[in-house]
Amino acid sequence: MKLSFLKDYLEGKESISTLKSQISGPLREYREKSRIIGTSRPVILFSDLRDFTIGKEHVIKLCDTYLSGQMDEVEVDYLGSALQLVAAEKDFPFESKIVEEALSFLCDPEVNGTLTKESVQEIRESLS
């Protein structure tokens, strides 16, 4: 998946069905590896943007998609991890420390626990 596509989805320019078709292949392996504690999980993302600030609206979109039942916790983890990786590797900034921390809580269930509707709602409210 291209970063520009993920950005477009998070900004409401692409549909959830198109997003799911974009990540279906890599997500299968990610989902399998997620079942094994301590295993690294591959995230496939092509960084085709020169600059990108990860803002609260992007994290809110992930939360809303999960809360509406259109995405499960592994899909949220995958997309959140993709954003974290690109922020670290390409030095794309987060809008604020609060946004960075909120995204972090959506990822890595081994560290943060399994996502629940309640925990995601709390994360979303912290950004509003």
pTM, full prediction = 0.88
pLDDT at 40: 75
Which residue, chain included where needed, has tokens 């994360």?
123
pLDDT at 92: 83
Distance CA 99, CA 63 (A): 12
- The 3-class secondary structure across 50-80, one letter per residue, is CCCCECHHHHHHHHHHHHCCCCCHHHHHHHH
pLDDT at 30: 82
pLDDT at 121: 96
- Domain spans, the chain: 3-127
pLDDT at 112: 66
Distance CA 13, CA 19 (A): 11
pLDDT at 46: 85
Residue type, 117: K
pLDDT truncated to tens, each residue of the chain (128 aa)? 899 999 999 999 999 999 999 999 988 888 887 776 667 788 888 888 888 899 999 999 999 999 999 999 999 999 999 999 888 877 788 999 999 999 999 987 666 678 899 999 999 999 98
Contact 106, 62 (CB under 8 A): yes
Phi, psi of 88 (to 5 degrees): -75, -45
